[in-house]
């Protein structure tokens, strides 16, 4: 009897002793034989009849999970998805015990986790043994070209999406061939021919076989969609085994300095602590924050040539803002009303006494608000009407109170390998797409 | 007998002795009593019957003009308008002797000078004595706010246009009132109600009373049209006598330096000799040359905040190019094809090996052609495919072979008052519009 079955037996026995009618199931990639070694959790779902209230479901779910983990010598911990569940490390595996309802199709869905059962059923009943091996190849490839994972940080392909691609195309090679040659924005895959793909506007539309109103690829960004297509083209033009291994970044501080010097840009790094919250809460906020800095910079005429961000292992976020120049003239052209609007012209001239005529309108060479990037950032963060800058709500305080703005060369001077890798990826974003 | 009549008598007698049937007429502002003191020429037109050939007209015209000027002790000189004419300084007046045909309306026009007779007739027969005084006020005002003159250098109002404005509005004050309050782009004045103004698209349309297919204001630029309107508004809000006197510019080198420093711009002056050709030939070429430098600068991402030009008394043209910054990063974003165009992507990546993916398209951070303004100017003038830069044909060689590019501060260091005035006008272009 394997490990999962043993855990299921413990829980089932305990539930029976409590007169609770549940069925336990191993779900997810473990159940589907599509998990990559060393990468997967054991997901055990406890399915309750629809007659149980949600409160009872949560209460029993946590109790049974705790019991089982303690029984086999682990330390239980409560986590929250759409409802709370118990997790623990047992024998080196992360095991999740999730309570859910016993449903037979998507019309009975009460929460997102209930759907996992339907997914597991669908894959188990439709996938051949060879196809499960093709899924492993695809996941490995996706992982090493950095397009695997539906979490916000990656915004790539989920495991279930990889499985559906194999069901559609039958083999890894065929997926790669089609992606490389046929995929385009809003490409549609509809295994059960529901005909519901019209309502989606995502880069890739893969209708969920167990829920015709859901696009399995909705979390996939245009960026990762494009990157996967290009990685597939790269692979086909020179199909090396290396495409199934992570590409290691090895770069020295001197190399990085040299590269930034060659670019001749003014590259700043804005750093601040981030609170210890789940990645899917924090990453979107840092991304939004970065985009806002870029937008405001351009508004003040500082052109951004490239930008990126990362959160390091000390929970410090770094937003890299690389500018074409960091100093501007003290003045700029301020466009005024047309000469024919007498009254407006008078007001403009009163406001800008140096205003003069250019063609058929008033202009003024008037003082620029900010003439350097550090001055602009200091002011928009600390003094300006905040509404101009859109900061993530959980990082706002840390930024406004404790941000540090450094030149990229100062960051390089700190000789931190983690920073080096991220700076390297900032300079060479396609590095992992090719071998 | 006044001076003009004496000259006319000399010519008429001489022509009679040669058996040539001409009538001499004083034309222009002298004939119309609308000349400003010390500003006007004496224009004497010799009208020939239409039976004379153009060759005869030219031959006799020059002969009679020469005779008369020599007779009163002047030195004749030949000039060219639509046909050659004689000019000379006599008693401090510049006197022009111009041959033309005797015509009674515009359908008989053989050249532009023939029209002058019709203009003189029209004004003499329509203008009251008071109105001629109003013309003088208007011309004086126009002159001191720098909108008087139909030559290209000013691109303002001609004397005849001033006269027609007075015929339309009867008084200086009324012209000023209407310009200030009612004029707008494509404003129409049609004294003879020809109804032909639809065909013109100029800022101001004043149909010639002696030629319904001609806009008397066609040489007026939008700039000078706007400036006159604003000067009128300024005058009406505070009608000082100073508006009829030139406004003197008195500025020190230190003041100019201070002003350019306050602006914090990178201001360059491109200087080169211009050939000794009429203003109306050279000025448009310098203007075209300047506009081309501005356009090419912006094409290479160097933003121009203000530009102007002048030709000094040593026949050196100076083009002032004031930039928001004069140095840029070594690299810039180069947009490539969309990912979905496989072949184009391959070509782009071959051309720019560092190309990577941004969203749904390829981009490359590639080398900028020019990273500084002097480098750009040196190259576009001397090395680049010339077609990119549009240089006036008579100044092309001087620019490419002998241009000098200086910082505005170097020009200021030369302590030339003429430069100071022009730099001052560059900084404060509306200075003359207000008192």
Same domain, A36 and A77: yes
Q: Is residue B406 part of a domain?
A: yes
Question: Residue A360 is nearest to which of B222, B264, B323, comparing CB atoms?
Answer: B222
CB contact under 8 A, B226 and A357: yes
pLDDT band at B31 (very low <50, low <70, confident <90, very high): confident
Residues of A in contact with B203 (CB under 8 A): 360
Specify the pairing of strand A204-208 against strand A187-189. Answer: parallel
CA-to-CA dists, residue B304 to A354, B134, B222, B328, angstroms = 18, 42, 21, 14
Number of separate domains in chain A: 4
Q: Does A357 touch chain B (CB under 8 A)?
A: yes
d(CA A320, CA B11): 85
Which of A211-220, B47-56, B182-191, B329-338 bottoms out in mean pLDDT, i.e. has the lowest?
B47-56
Three-state secondary-structure class, residue B4: helix
Across A279-299, b (16+ Cβ under 10 Å) vs e yields: eeebbebbbebbebbbebbee
Of B155, B433, B146, B425, nearest in space to B308 by CA: B425
CB contact under 8 A, A429 and B233: no
Residue B424 belongs to domain with CATH number: 3.30.70.590
Distance from CA of B330 to the nearest CA of A (A): 5
Q: Is residue B224 part of a domain?
A: yes
CB B168 within 8 A of CB B189: yes
Which of B36-40, B202-206, B386-390 bottoms out in mean pLDDT, i.e. has the lowest?
B36-40
In this prediction, residue A40 carries a pLDDT of: 67
List the domain range (segments joined by +) for residue A72: 2-111
Q: From its phi and psi, is residue A96 left (phi > 0), alpha (psi between -120 and 50) or beta?
A: beta
CB contact under 8 A, A226 and B371: no
Smallest CA–CA distance from B365 into chain A, residue = A305
Mean pLDDT of chain B: 92
Question: Residue B263 is nearest to which of A329, A357, A430, comparing CB atoms?
Answer: A329
Distance from CA of B297 to the nearest CA of A (A): 16
Same domain, A262 and A399: yes
In this prediction, residue A422 carries a pLDDT of: 97
Inter-chain CB pairs, A–B, below 8 Å: 124
Same domain, A375 and A362: no
B348-406 tens-digit pLDDT: 999 999 999 999 999 999 999 999 999 999 999 887 666 788 888 999 889 988 999 99
Same domain, B213 and B349: no
Q: Does B316 touch chain A (CB under 8 A)?
A: no
d(CA A230, CA A247): 16
In this prediction, residue B21 carries a pLDDT of: 87
Same domain, B362 and B375: no
Same domain, A175 and A258: no
CB contact under 8 A, A429 and B356: yes
**Residue numbers of B between 231 and 250 with CB closer than 8 Å to A:** 233
Smallest CA–CA distance from B223 into chain A, residue = A359
CB contact under 8 A, B358 and A223: yes
In this prediction, residue B90 carries a pLDDT of: 79
Largest Cα–Cα separation, chain A: 90
Q: Is residue B122 part of a domain?
A: no
Q: Does A365 touch chain B (CB under 8 A)?
A: yes
B323: pLDDT strictly greater than 90: yes
In this prediction, residue B388 carries a pLDDT of: 84
d(CA B70, CA B149): 31
Tokens encoding A348: 């403009």
Smallest CA–CA distance from B431 into chain A, residue = A356
In this prediction, residue A374 carries a pLDDT of: 95
pTM: 0.84
Distance from CA of A226 to the nearest CA of B (A): 6
pLDDT band at B249 (very low <50, low <70, confident <90, very high): very high
d(CA B331, CA B310): 35
In this prediction, residue A307 carries a pLDDT of: 98
Residues of A in contact with B359 (CB under 8 A): 222-223, 226
Three-state secondary-structure class, residue B249: coil
pLDDT band at B282 (very low <50, low <70, confident <90, very high): very high
Q: Is residue A116 part of a domain?
A: no
ipTM of the complex, rounded to two decimals? 0.88
The predicted model gives B404-433 an average pLDDT of 96
Smallest CA–CA distance from A307 into chain B, residue = B358
Q: Is residue A104 part of a domain?
A: yes
B278: pLDDT strictly greater than 90: no
Residues of A in contact with B330 (CB under 8 A): 262-265
Burial of B353 (0-12, 13-18, 19+ CB in 10 A): exposed
Q: Does A223 touch chain B (CB under 8 A)?
A: yes
Which DSSP letter does residue B308 get?
E
Q: Does B301 touch chain A (CB under 8 A)?
A: yes
Backbone phi, then psi, for A134, in 5-degree steps? -65, -35
In this prediction, residue A365 carries a pLDDT of: 95
In this prediction, residue A88 carries a pLDDT of: 86
CB contact under 8 A, A365 and B184: no
Q: Does B329 touch chain A (CB under 8 A)?
A: yes
Distance from CA of A156 to the nearest CA of B (A): 13
B17 sits in which H/E element: helix B3-17
Q: Does B365 touch chain A (CB under 8 A)?
A: yes
CB contact under 8 A, B340 and A185: yes
Three-state secondary-structure class, residue B182: coil
Single residue among B244, B273, B304 that ends a domain in this structure: B244
B184: pLDDT strictly greater than 60: yes
Of B300, B359, B306, B305, nearest in space to B327 by CA: B300
Same domain, B100 and B194: no
Of B321, B434, B33, B168, nearest in space to A346 by CA: B434
Q: Does A5 touch chain B (CB under 8 A)?
A: no
CA-to-CA dists, residue B393 to B30, B275, B282, B284, angstroms = 37, 11, 9, 11
CB contact under 8 A, A180 and B227: no
Same domain, A233 and A260: no
Distance from CA of B170 to the nearest CA of A (A): 23
Q: Is residue B121 part of a domain?
A: no
Residue B192 belongs to domain with CATH number: 1.10.1410.30
Same domain, B281 and B135: no
Residues of B in contact with A287 (CB under 8 A): none
Single residue among A194, A216, A244 that ends a domain in this structure: A244
Q: Does A327 touch chain B (CB under 8 A)?
A: yes
Q: Is residue A260 part of a domain?
A: yes
Which of A167-181, B107-121, B133-147, B328-342 bottoms out in mean pLDDT, i.e. has the lowest?
B107-121
Single residue among B76, B111, B146 that ends a domain in this structure: B111
In this prediction, residue A115 carries a pLDDT of: 86
Same domain, A9 and A99: yes
Same domain, A7 and A52: yes
Q: Does A329 touch chain B (CB under 8 A)?
A: yes
Same domain, A402 and A290: yes
Residue A6 belongs to domain with CATH number: 3.30.460.10
Q: Is residue A117 part of a domain?
A: no
Instruction: Going from the first residue of chain A to its last (435 residues), give the mean pLDDT of each consecutive group of 10, the final group possibly shorter.
Output: 84 91 88 77 88 88 90 84 80 85 78 84 95 96 96 95 98 98 96 96 97 95 97 97 95 97 97 92 95 95 96 96 94 95 94 95 94 94 77 90 95 95 96 95
In this prediction, residue B384 carries a pLDDT of: 67
B250: pLDDT strictly greater than 80: yes
Q: Does A91 touch chain B (CB under 8 A)?
A: no
**Residue numbers of B between 14 and 43 with CB closer than 8 Å to A:** none
B165: pLDDT strictly greater than 60: yes
Q: Does B429 touch chain A (CB under 8 A)?
A: yes
B343: pLDDT strictly greater than 80: yes
In this prediction, residue B331 carries a pLDDT of: 96
How many C-alpha atoms does A328 have within 13 Å on its Cβ side? 26
């Amino acid at each position: 009897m394997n490990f999962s079955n043993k855990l299921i037996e413990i829980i089932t026995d305990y539930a029976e002793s409590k007169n609770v009618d549940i069925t336990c199931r191993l779900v997810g990639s473990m159940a589907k034989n599509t998990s990559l070694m060393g990468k997967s959790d054991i997901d055990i779902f406890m399915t309750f009849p629809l007659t149980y209230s949600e409160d009872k479901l949560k209460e029993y779910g946590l109790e049974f999970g705790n019991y089982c983990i303690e029984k086999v010598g682990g330390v239980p911990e409560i986590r929250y998805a759409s409802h709370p569940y118990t997790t623990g490390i047992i024998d080196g595996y992360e095991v999740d015990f999730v309570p859910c309802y016993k449903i037979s199709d998507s019309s009975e869905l009460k929460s997102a986790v209930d759907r996992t059962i339907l997914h597991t059923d669908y894959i188990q009943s439709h996938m051949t043994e060879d196809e499960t091996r093709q899924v492993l190849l695809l996941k490995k490839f996706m992982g090493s070209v950095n397009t695997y994972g539906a979490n916000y940080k990656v915004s790539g392909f989920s495991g279930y999406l990889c499985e559906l691609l194999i069901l559609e195309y039958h083999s890894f090679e065929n997926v790669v061939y089609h992606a490389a040659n046929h995929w385009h924005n809003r490409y549609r895959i509809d295994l059960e021919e529901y005909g519901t793909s019209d309502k989606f506007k995502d880069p890739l539309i893969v209708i969920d076989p167990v829920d015709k109103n859901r696009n399995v690829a909705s979390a996939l960004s245009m960026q990762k969609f494009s990157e996967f297509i290009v990685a597939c083209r790269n692979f086909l033009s020179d199909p090396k085994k290396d495409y199934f291994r992570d590409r290691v970044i090895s770069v020295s501080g001197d190399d990085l300095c040299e590269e930034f010097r060659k670019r001749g840009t003014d590259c700043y790094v804005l750093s601040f602590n981030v609170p210890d919250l789940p990645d899917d809460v924090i990453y979107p906020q840092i991304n939004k924050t970065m985009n806002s800095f870029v937008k405001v910079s351009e508004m003040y005429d500082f052109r951004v040539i490239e930008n990126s961000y990362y959160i390091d292992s000390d929970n410090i976020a770094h937003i890299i803002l690389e500018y074409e120049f960091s100093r501007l003239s003290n003045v700029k052209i301020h466009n005024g009303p047309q000469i024919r609007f007498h009254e407006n012209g008078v007001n403009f001239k009163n406001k800008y006494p140096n205003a003069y005529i250019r063609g058929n309108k008033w202009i003024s060479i008037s003082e620029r608000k900010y003439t350097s990037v550090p001055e602009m950032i200091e002011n928009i963060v600390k003094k300006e009407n905040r509404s101009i800058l859109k900061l993530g709500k959980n990082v706002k305080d840390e930024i406004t109170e404790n941000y540090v703005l450094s030149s990229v060369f100062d960051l390089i001077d700190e000789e931190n390998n983690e920073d080096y890798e991220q700076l390297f990826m900032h300079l060479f974003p396609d590095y992992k797409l090719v071998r």
